[in-house]
Structure 1
Amino acid sequence: MTVSARLLLVPALLLALAGCGGSGGAATGDTLSVAMQFPPRSAYAFDADDGALLMTLGVAETLTTVDAEARPAPSLATAWEQTPDARTWRFTLRDGVTFHDGTPLTADAVVTALSYISSVSAPPRAVRDIGFTAVADGPLAVLIGTSAPDPVLPLRMSSGNLGILAPAAYAGGGQPNVVRTGTGPYALTTVNGADSAVLERNDTYWGTRPGARTVTIRYVTDPQSRALALQSGDVQFAEGLPDASVAQLRSAGARVTGYPAARTVELLLNQAAKPFSDLRVRQAVTAAIDRPALAARVLGGAATPAADLFGSAVPWGSATAAAGADPDRARQLLTAAGYGPSSPLTVRLWTFPNRPEMPLLATAIQAMLAQAGITVKITVGEYSAQEPKVLAGEFDMFLNSRSYLSDFADATSVLTSDYTCKGSYNIDHYCSAEFDELVGTLAGISDVTERQKVFTRAATMLTDDAVGVMIVHPHNTAGENGTRGFVPDPLSVRPVLPQLTPAG
């Protein structure tokens, strides 16, 4: 089932509101103004994850992209194949593509771009520690190699960190120049630090041209300010809108869409020590938490109750929302584990305020666990101070928010780092030889569908072993007030701004 089909089957995920434009929201001619949630982290540096932002804006493009089933799809490369030695893939480039500065896309240009990003002091995770190399194989083909066979290299090449810029971008040494050096439907023409930028339509673009000739981007970090700008018509598109503003935006004629994000809020339980080394206690906590109530009441419907690690944002996740709480079963499990009125259970719950919903969820979880006889003491502190302690196992419960597709549309990285015995981010301190063996099979599976079956099995195993409690999957939001054309993309791969057309 496609991601789009899942959206149709889960109406609660869609917050599309009545109205398709407002009196104050019309764009001027073919010019748009937009409010984006996240500004560039480091002057549009690809190795600082700004490449993903440039891809969202429609400025830079990668060799591959991803379709709705999270399979690699053509972009600047039209075809790819693995060579007999299994450590090299040959990518055939799209003919007739030109960079914004007028130079042609060639194999040598691609090699220059990929060699730069793989040689920086801290290469992006998508190519880190894999022995990544790129050499030209004629004018329109590139051989990309790794030190060991890599079954997901075509998916890796969709990472926003691996965007291809014109050779002139790298000529000055240091950080590449991103102004008028991409291949996308928009050229970046003006950069005003982390405050704003201007895009101009690329009229020689190889694909579908965008609807607006010029787009002014404002980076607005405050969600309420983004909502007010959209409501007033000061901008015609905004992302990351606060739930409390949705009704007011509706009354102003804006159209707001909510859709699944590849993110999970998880209550991590320290299995390295009592009480959570006992499966019955972990199961009791799971049974005591009413995840539908947390999604609907605490988060105002801006999330889906989590039935597994992944959820409906990806093809391999569960599209079924979690069931409600069962306090009676929770108390029975606690009694079987030796806890009750004469031996009450008290645990510590840590979380952080960086995401404002986390303390709210923690307080609600505290109340739910109290109904089952578990006393919870909450500490809200800075994540940077908490992380070393939770990794060292010096905690009981930790409420975390985790993006599980931070690099490209494959779950191997998060399954390995978060849940294998030697995982670098294994906060639960979960260790299962059977789970490690299952994840280990991914090294030899190149078929994307078969890999996704392994992801599903791994998520089921985590649920069966009560490895933390998957609480909710938050939604992304976007609003239009004077534009049309936005299509939700739970995988966050499709360029957003080129979709938009002035509604006038």
Structure 2
Amino acid sequence: MRLPARRLLPVTALTATSALLTGCFSGADSAAEGDGKRVRVAMMQPPRSGLSPLSDDAFKLSRWSTAETLVKLDADGDAEPALATKWQQSGRTWTFEIRDGVTFHDGSELDAAAVVRSLTTAATASPKPRILDGVELTVQAQDSDTVTVTTADEDPLVPQRLSSPQLSILAAKAYRGKTVNPVGAGTGPFELVSVNGTSSAALDRYDGYWGEQAKSPGIDVKFVPDGTARAAALRSGEADIVEAVPVSQAALLDEELVTEVPMPRTNTLYLNTSDGPFRDAGLRAAAREAIDAESIVEGVYEGRADVAEGLLGPALPWAAELRSDVKRTAAEKPDGRTITIGTFTDRAELPEVAATLQQQLQKAGFKVKLEIREYANIETDALAGEFDAFILSRATVLDSGDPAAYLYSDFASDGSFNISQLADAQVDAALKKAAGTGTGEARRKAVIAAEAAVLATDAAIPMLHERVIQGDATGVVGAAHDPRERQLVTADTYVK
């Protein structure tokens, strides 16, 4: 079936998903008369923790360009200067030089003490930000513009970790209460000036910004969980930027308003290698050969996904460039073997994927049972190896922007998310090498070698890489389309 032409984000671009606004935006231009239009944004998920940067709400702060980190990531996941201008490693300790001339939105100056305060608060929080799970980290000021970050074990990913929005650097005023309050406390080109619970937020351009001045006078955000309502706001002109347009609604929009952003998220069939029919590598190979991923992309995702070539998809453009053929086990005949596939209802497409896989595997000679529940009621059984196979939509880069942590958690013998129950010495060795290799080209090659080791076992069959659909109104210029969802409205974004 030939699909209509679509705007698909080039995978080398590092930009972020936008959000759509539904509801009334009256008064959106009032804060900057004669100085252009404010950007009206609709976000999919309301704040869960009062916009505390120690929670997933941190990603909203970074998408609005109001809170910044010491380091940012380029398209390949390598560290670049942000609030820190340079850094160097000496064993377990990293030294960071703090940028001069930066002020917080309350007028106070960025210095080493502010960095120590923010990072220490994060490192000692309970629970810790995800990026610091299993990481013991201490921060000290060497002088007014130099800090050292020391970890319990030597860690080549410290700069990448410090790029996480959950480790944003905020002014002292943010830490005066029991929770971290980011209002008026960031360093970005936009100042967060008000938050209306889980309904809306407003940001104004910060004229004292250390970098390029924002082209828009401000941002007006509304939180609109309903996908149909978000799409309707784009069609009606009530929203300038729309986050996560549902596939079912995308077809109703002008294709010129829609951009599909490759996400670092892979829909994968995990096979139980320790118990049941899939202990046999030949039967795992038979399952792999039976799966027609292209029909799943066309039938379930309406063509708005990418057929998987490996575990890492087009959101990591270097993966395809480094990947080579993998030697796999020959397939055996299923001979009517009964298998049970589990998945969950929380992601609407997964039950449909399961039904399609059931048909494909039965055609190949398996007998297939499905067990589908809410994720909260099925995760424990999946991790305990209660299913022969499990369908999961899995993020392949975590907060560091690096896939080595995902590969280790899912496929190492002692991995915390090893649904395949895989225990393979060659895989473990490849994963250990990847985790210990310094950042850059050498680490990327080690990661692809680890991916190849996993794929050779057929413990996991990657089927497709997901995209997120973003809506940008005709007058929007410079909206970010970021596979990592760290950026949305930047200093370059404005509405004509």
TM-score, scaled to structure 1:
0.88
Match of 1:149 in 2: 154
Sequence identity (%): 36
Among 299, 310, 313, the residue aligned to 2:312: 310
For 2:84 and 2:189, the matched residues in 1 are separated by 16
SS at match of 1:364: helix
Match of 1:40 in 2: 47
Match of 1:16 in 2: none
Deviations 1:152-184 (A, max 9, x none): 111111011100000111123x11121100001
Q: How far apart are residue 8 of structure 1 and its match?
A: 4.8
Q: 1:248 to 1:130 in 2, by over 3 A?
A: closer
Among 62, 69, 75, the residue aligned to 1:62: 69
Q: Equivalent residues in 2 for 1:129-144 (5 A)? A: 129-144=134-149
Among 198, 203, 208, the residue aligned to 2:202: 198
Residues 1:446 and 2:444 are matched in the alignment: no
Residues 1:477 and 2:469 are matched in the alignment: yes
SS at match of 1:47: coil
For 1:297 and 1:407, the matched residues in 2 are separated by 31
For 1:31 and 1:147, the matched residues in 2 are separated by 46
Q: Which amino acid aligns with 1:274?
A: G
Q: Which amino acid aligns with 2:331?
A: L
Among 232, 239, 244, the residue aligned to 1:235: 239
Q: Is the 8 A contact 2:430 2:453 kept in 1?
A: no
Match of 1:300 in 2: 302
Residues 1:358 and 2:350 are matched in the alignment: yes
For 2:83 and 2:63, the matched residues in 1 are separated by 16
Q: 1:210 to 1:243 in 2, by over 3 A?
A: same
Match of 1:488 in 2: 481
Among 80, 87, 102, the residue aligned to 1:80: 87
Q: How far apart are residue 321 of structure 1 and its match?
A: 12
For 1:150 and 1:215, the matched residues in 2 are separated by 38
Q: Equivalent residues in 2 for 1:254-333 (5 A)? A: 255-318=257-320, 333=331
Q: 1:438 to 1:183 in 2, by over 3 A?
A: same
Q: How far apart are residue 73 of structure 1 and its match?
A: 0.4
Unaligned runs of 5+ in 1: 1-5, 11-23, 324-328
Q: Which amino acid aligns with 2:243?
A: E
Match of 1:386 in 2: 378
Match of 2:398 in 1: 406
SS at match of 2:444: helix
Q: Is the 8 A contact 2:202 2:219 kept in 1?
A: yes
Q: 1:134 to 1:321 in 2, by over 3 A?
A: closer
Match of 1:19 in 2: none
For 1:443 and 1:240, the matched residues in 2 are separated by 32
Residues 1:467 and 2:452 are matched in the alignment: no
Match of 1:3 in 2: none
For 1:122 and 1:61, the matched residues in 2 are separated by 21
Match of 1:96 in 2: 101
For 1:442 and 1:322, the matched residues in 2 are separated by 17
Unaligned runs of 5+ in 2: 1-7, 13-24, 30-35
Deviates more, 1:140-149 or 1:490-499: 490-499
Deviations 1:76-104 (A, max 9, x none): 00100013xx1111101111000000001
Q: How far apart are residue 497 of structure 1 and its match?
A: 4.7
Match of 1:109 in 2: 114
Q: 1:321 to 1:69 in 2, by over 3 A?
A: closer
SS at match of 1:263: strand
Q: How far apart are residue 124 of structure 1 and its match?
A: 1.4
- RMSD of the alignment, in Å? 2.4
For 1:425 and 1:316, the matched residues in 2 are separated by 25
SS at match of 2:148: strand
Among 189, 198, 212, the residue aligned to 2:216: 212
Match of 1:422 in 2: 414
SS at match of 2:419: coil
Q: How far apart are residue 499 of structure 1 and its match?
A: 4.0
SS at match of 1:244: helix
Match of 2:17 in 1: none
Q: Is the 8 A contact 1:312 1:319 kept in 2?
A: no
TM-score, scaled to structure 2:
0.89
Q: Is the 8 A contact 2:199 2:223 kept in 1?
A: yes
For 2:439 and 2:378, the matched residues in 1 are separated by 39
Q: How far apart are residue 443 of structure 1 and its match?
A: 4.7
Deviations 1:249-276 (A, max 9, x none): 207xx52100210101111111111200
Q: Is the 8 A contact 2:9 2:481 kept in 1?
A: no
Q: Which amino acid aligns with 1:478?
A: Q
Q: 1:487 to 1:168 in 2, by over 3 A?
A: closer
